[in-house]
Structure 1
Amino acid sequence: MKVLHVIPSISPSLGGPTQVVLNSVKALRDCGVDAEIVTTNHNCTTTFDVPLYQKTEYEQVPVWFLPYTSPALKEFIFSAPLTQWLWQNVRNYDILDNHYLFSYAPTCAGAIARWYKVPYTVRVQGQLSSWALTQSKLKKQVYSLLIERHNLNHAAAIHCASTEEAKDVRKFGIDTRTVILPLGVEKFPKFPQAKTRLRSVYGIPEQTPVILFLSRLRYNKRPDLLIKALSHIANLKGDFHLILAGDGEPNYVNYLQQLVTSLNLSNCVTFAGFVANEQKNLLLQGADLFVLPSLSENFSIAAAEAMAAGLPVIVSSEVQIAPDIITANTGLVVEGEIEPLIKAILRLLDSPTFRQVLGENGRRLAIQNYSWDSIALSLANVYEALIRDNATTLSEILTFS
């Protein structure tokens, strides 16, 4: 079985989707599936310095990079060479796994796959949530009318990371079958003395609890709400330190920095910027709790990673991994308002024992549910069933509707 994953970009700055495609392809290959990626050389404001038009090993997986040809349409990430490559090569694959909506690469791949009668799946990645559809609303309405609904309606299946995401698909008016399979998290190597090392790196007193926000600094993630909540907590319990790990648009990051200053939190807030690899591992294993009060989040790789690292988590109910957190008792789920957030943070700050219990529960949940090895095996079985168009087999593998 030969599988092609199609994604507009694998820029690290795009966060979760990049991790998902690289890790899923690596895990699929580890379990014997011949999986590859085709994408562009788009890398946020620049381009990747990589060989083009040839299969390249990138982050331990085979990737075809094609030139990104339209900086003027940065969100669309148009690539004429990618179009030509897909016409020439789609027939060489048994199934396509398309990542993203409202972007050129997966749209083009879906159309060409239909022409050659090659089945394809679509990962909506939170882009059909109510909040997401209000962003660039008119553009998405036009794109949906002309292209995206047809693309979704003719997919072999739509891959959803949660039952809530599957509901979003139905609300959007799509009847295509959905398969619900969670996303996985990387296995982080143990970082000896992580808490001591973290405090040394960031100049934090040894006994001060560290609160971690690990995500892009964007309005919908609501780091500003977290900062405002902590300004109230500072007046009640001043012993904490917040690390905001992630990058974002300069204007919004500047707003957050000014907010921190205006609330007299400069001494207890650190902007760590974009983190990866060892630095990210240090934050996950050295912090005391993780907070993500998003307006909208389809799965949240960051929250799953935090649980895998043994961190108790606090998330808003709009984070679609929330039902898992409640069921497994790995953290607190709150309404996305300042008062519930304050109470949840205070509860965890006041009880190291409770934090430890939640963290251990989270680690077990991650091992059981978010292991890339088991997810890749299930995904490979899904591909086989879709290639054979066997609905009975699909229903036996995982949640299917």
Structure 2
Amino acid sequence: MKLLSVIVSMDPASGGPAQGIRNNVPFWKQQGIVPSILSFDAPNAFFLEKDLGIGIGPVKNPWAYVPNGMHWFLSHLEDYDVVLIHGLWLYNGYAVTKAIKQLKRLGKQTPKVFVMPHGMLDPYFQKAPERRLKALRNVIYWHLIEKEVINSVDGVLFTCEEEMQLAATTFGGYQPKATYNVGYGIIPPPLFSDEQKAAFYDKCPAIINRPYFLFLSRIHPKKGVDMLLTAYASLVDDSTKRGELVPDLVIAGPGMDTEYGEELKNLEAQYPQLADKVHYPGMLQGAAKWGALYGAALFVLPSHQENFGIAIVEAMACNTPVLITKRVNIWQEIAQGKGGIITEDNIPSLIDGFKQWMGMNQEAQQLMGAKAYTTFYSHFTAEATSKKFTEVISR
């Protein structure tokens, strides 16, 4: 079976969908699938995988339009058995479904087509106060284009049950032919090594031999980093008064050079108790990323909306407990497995979550880390979820 994944960018900095494809490719191959990846990156982009990554970009505008996209689809879609569109609201979904229509009118063989929204049908995006204009844009775009994309494909694939349920509540006229919870998973991380620790320390030398909480994701308002800083400042202030040592806070990821990143720096400056306690090593990859995840006392991602959160699962795979909000769609699996602390997405609840962790003895903290790993292995391995995906697209 020949599978084409269509995604706007395979740049690791673009987030989870690109990494999710990379995680699944080896297991797709094991199951007899011949995978190809079409992205709208430049053909010579350094991160495109050899023999897998086909770049036909770069894109020309925020819609991710590429001038030769339609020609490529009309010329090549017949070569594939299944096409998987990643994400919504962009040119890739519109172009694939339009090309399929044209090929059918010409009486040509067409592949099955599936869409994986990656959380982009979450009602959060229509309700967040700061997204009013974008929400209006989405309503217009939904009725003009995206509703037809969703309702015309052979199926819509979701990463967890909660995402699938939420998607049905966001827009009127949502009537897909079929919906499937295929799950989402990662490749188990490499075993811990001193080289990983050294690589992380090289990126964040101020943290050497100091305990730390770890945030590892894009620096973006949706991720609740401002809320994290405020809650952490409260924790440090309260614990210092009681003579307790609070781990440092590492905020790792791309985006500190943005306007929001500047806001975070200004916010941190308002809390003198955070002097020398917060560190920004930038985006961590490879050995440095694994060194950071293995060494963290607690992984923290207080998102206002998170469809899956690959970094959360990667932390759990490293025996690191997590602190997340109920706006992360896999929170129920983590709560049931007792692999982390679950809070609401507000500052008082986040403070309570930190205090809960601080109130645990070392044995209890380590046990939570062990349960985090068990939860990962039970629910979030790429090998298991890729089998579910293969079963669906083979029907």
TM (normalized to structure 2)? 0.88
Query: What corresponds to 1:127 in structure 2?
Result: 120
Identity of aligned residues (%): 25
CA distance in 1, matches of 2:287, 2:31: 26
Q: Out of 267, 284, 290, which is 2:299 matched to?
A: 290
Q: Which aligned pairs between 1:44-193 and structure 2 lie closer than 5 A?
A: 49-50=44-45, 58-59=48-49, 62-70=52-60, 73-74=61-62, 76-116=63-103, 117-134=110-127, 135=131, 136-171=134-169, 172-173=171-172, 174-176=174-176, 177-193=178-194
Of stretches 24-33 and 174-183 in structure 1, the one that deviates more from structure 2 is 24-33
Deviations 1:225-281 (A, max 9, x none): 111001111112243200001112611111111211221213100011111111111
Aligned-pair CA distance for 1:107: 2.0
Give 1:235's match in structure 2, choosing from 221, 234, 237. 237
Task: Identify which of 220, 224, 227 aligns with 1:225.
Answer: 227
> What is the one-letter code of the residue matched to 1:49?
N
Show CA shifts across 1:338-374 (max 9, x none). 1221121122134222221111111112122211112
SS of 2:300 mapped into structure 1: strand
User: Match for residue 206 of structure 2?
Assistant: 203
The aligned counterpart of 1:366 is: 376
Q: CA RMSD in A?
A: 2.1
Cα deviation per residue 1:2-35 (whole Å; 9 max; x = unaligned)?
1111111112211111101222233212332111
Evaluate the alpha carbon distance shift between residue 88 and residue 292 of structure 1 in structure 2; reply closer, same or farther with a 3 A threshold: same
CA 1:226/1:361 → structure 2, altered by over 3 Å: closer, same or farther?
same
In structure 2, the CA distance between the partners of 1:310 and 1:358, relative to structure 1 (3 Å rule), is same
The alpha carbon displacement at 1:82 in A equals: 2.0
Instruction: Assess, with a 3 A threshold, how the Cα gap between structure 1 residues 379 and 243 changes in structure 2: closer, same or farther.
Output: same
Deviation, 1:67, is: 2.2
Deviation of 1:101 (Å): 0.2
- Alignment-derived partner of residue 17 in structure 2: 17
The reply to whether residue 261 of structure 1 matches residue 263 of structure 2 is no
SS at match of 2:341: strand
Distance 1:94 1:349, change over 3 A: same
Q: Give, in whole Å, the separation in 1 of the partners of 2:376 and 2:126.
A: 30
How is 1:26-45 mapped onto 2 (pairs within 5 angstroms)? 26-41=26-41
**Secondary structure, aligned partner of 1:220:** helix
CA distance in 2, matches of 1:279, 1:107: 38
CA distance in 2, matches of 1:196, 1:62: 31
TM-score, L = length of structure 1: 0.87
- Which has the higher mean CA deviation after the structures are superposed, 89-98 or 347-356? 347-356
Following the alignment from structure 1 to structure 2, what is the Cα–Cα distance between the partners of residues 39 and 161?
21
Bigger mean CA offset, 320-329 vs 368-377: 368-377
Q: Does the 8 A contact of 1:294 with 1:315 survive in 2?
A: yes
127-136 vs 220-229, which deviates more?
Answer: 127-136
One-letter amino acid matched to 2:13: S
Q: List 4+ stretches of structure 1 deviating above 4 A.
A: 193-201
Q: Is 1:25–1:61's contact at 8 Å kept on the other side of the alignment?
A: no
Q: Kindly tell me: are residues 237 and 29 of structure 1, through their superposed partners in 2, closer, same or farther at Cα, counting changes over 3 Å?
A: same
1:148 Cα deviation from its structure 2 partner: 0.2
Contact 2:43 2:54 in 1 (8 A): no
**SS of match in other structure, 1:272:** coil
The answer to whether the 8 A contact 1:22-1:61 is kept is: no
Number of equivalences: 371
- How far off is 1:88 after superposition? 0.2
Question: Which amino acid in 2 is paired with 1:4?
Answer: L
Task: Tell me which residue corresponds to 1:304.
Answer: 313
